């Protein structure tokens, strides 16, 4: 066999096979399974057509989950990308001086801890009786602000979101720091000669030059928001009464607690559609950013 120009695809065949087997085939299979009623311990499958999808759109818990994922995504983008950028700019500025690396490391540290450990840590911080947070609030005279952080339906999901911001803002900040450090020094010098102050330099030199990175980090946080699972699983299991349920945990519970593999597959298809669409939109935006 001769390897001519037209045989280029032979070189990518191994990769295609691997990705096909482990990514694309399961995705198609998952869609196929969503049309059946089945559980994990029998081989019996009953065809139910699209009825799982009809049910999803009537399912209150699904909407709660979706709302929680969206809330998580919005807050994460604002806090992690927004605040992360501000922190990165501050660290790169002259204000931090010799402590620059110290600040960077301290802020980056939480993202190195495993989510499960962080979840347990915060579970204890949030504990209404012996937790640090309520004790602190009581100490400084804000007793009326104490809550059963993970058990009150209006507070619980925000408590978990807050924990994630604590964990990941530093990570996003470091990504942005790298982008800032890649900006040519001449641009700053030129701005200084023009008499720009710190804020003006940030707005007109740094931000336009790290646009690509801001888009990338937004994609990461939004997709991360829809893949959310461990935090919820460790801290509340979706409770109290499903108010902290997200798509990931709802999928898991449907599959392994309620024996509804097919319904869980249908939820998975929805998650896939959302993240896939989000990626496409953001890739498009990233391209337009170049032009």
Residues found near other proteins in the complex (CB under 8 A): 1-2, 6-7, 10, 13, 17, 20-21, 25-26, 29, 39-44, 127-129, 148-153, 237, 239-242, 252-253, 256-259
Q: Which is nearer to other proteins, 136 or 283 (CB)?
A: 136
**How near is the Cβ of 169 to other proteins at its closest, in Å?**
26
The whole-angstrom separation of Cα 277 and Cα 269 is 12
Q: Which is nearer to other proteins, 22 or 94 (CB)?
A: 22
The whole-angstrom separation of Cα 175 and Cα 91 is 13
Which residue shows structure tokens 């990504």?
Answer: 175
Q: Do the beta carbons of residue 131 and residue 120 sit within 8 Å?
A: no
**How near is the Cβ of 112 to other proteins at its closest, in Å?**
26
The whole-angstrom separation of Cα 195 and Cα 162 is 39
The whole-angstrom separation of Cα 186 and Cα 90 is 19
Q: Which is nearer to other proteins, 106 or 142 (CB)?
A: 142
**How near is the Cβ of 266 to other proteins at its closest, in Å?**
16
Q: Which is nearer to other proteins, 102 or 241 (CB)?
A: 241
**Phi, psi (5° rounding) for residue 152?**
-95, 125
CA dihedral 77, 79, 80, 83 (to 10 degrees): 130
Q: Which is nearer to other proteins, 224 or 239 (CB)?
A: 239
**How near is the Cβ of 284 to other proteins at its closest, in Å?**
30
Roughly what angle, to the nearest 10 degrees, separates helices 156-181 and 115-126? 130
Structure tokens at 46: 């009953």
Structure tokens at 89: 């700019």
**How near is the Cβ of 138 to other proteins at its closest, in Å?**
14
Q: Which is nearer to other proteins, 41 or 57 (CB)?
A: 41
**How near is the Cβ of 158 to other proteins at its closest, in Å?**
15
């Amino acid at each position: 066999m001769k390897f001519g120009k037209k045989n280029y695809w032979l070189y990518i065949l191994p990769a295609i096979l691997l990705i096909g087997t482990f990514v694309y085939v399961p995705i198609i299979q998952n869609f196929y399974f969503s049309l059946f009623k089945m559980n994990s311990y029998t081989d019996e499958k009953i065809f139910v057509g699209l009825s799982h999808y009809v049910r999803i759109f009537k399912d209150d818990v699904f909407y709660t989950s979706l709302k929680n994922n969206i809330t998580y995504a919005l807050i994460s983008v604002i806090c992690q990308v927004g605040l992360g950028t501000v922190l990165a700019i501050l660290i790169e500025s002259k204000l931090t001086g010799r402590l620059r690396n110290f600040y960077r490391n301290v802020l980056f540290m939480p993202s190195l801890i495993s989510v499960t450990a962080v979840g347990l840590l915060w579970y204890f911080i949030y504990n209404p009786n012996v937790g640090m947070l309520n004790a602190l609030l009581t100490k400084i005279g804000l007793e009326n602000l104490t809550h059963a952080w993970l058990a009150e339906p209006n507070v619980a999901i925000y408590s978990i979101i807050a924990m994630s911001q604590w964990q990941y803002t530093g990570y996003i900040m470091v990504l942005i720091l790298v982008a800032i450090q890649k900006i040519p020094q001449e641009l700053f010098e030129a701005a200084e000669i023009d008499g720009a102050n710190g804020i003006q330099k940030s707005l007109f030199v740094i931000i336009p030059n790290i646009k690509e990175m801001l888009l990338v980090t937004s994609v990461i946080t939004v997709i991360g928001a829809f893949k959310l699972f461990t935090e919820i699983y460790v801290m509340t299991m979706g409770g109290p009464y499903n108010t902290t349920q997200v798509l990931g945990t709802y999928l898991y519970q449907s599959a392994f607690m309620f024996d509804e593999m097919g319904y869980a597959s249908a939820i998975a298809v929805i998650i896939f559609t959302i993240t896939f669409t989000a990626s496409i939109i953001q890739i498009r935006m990233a391209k337009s950013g170049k032009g």
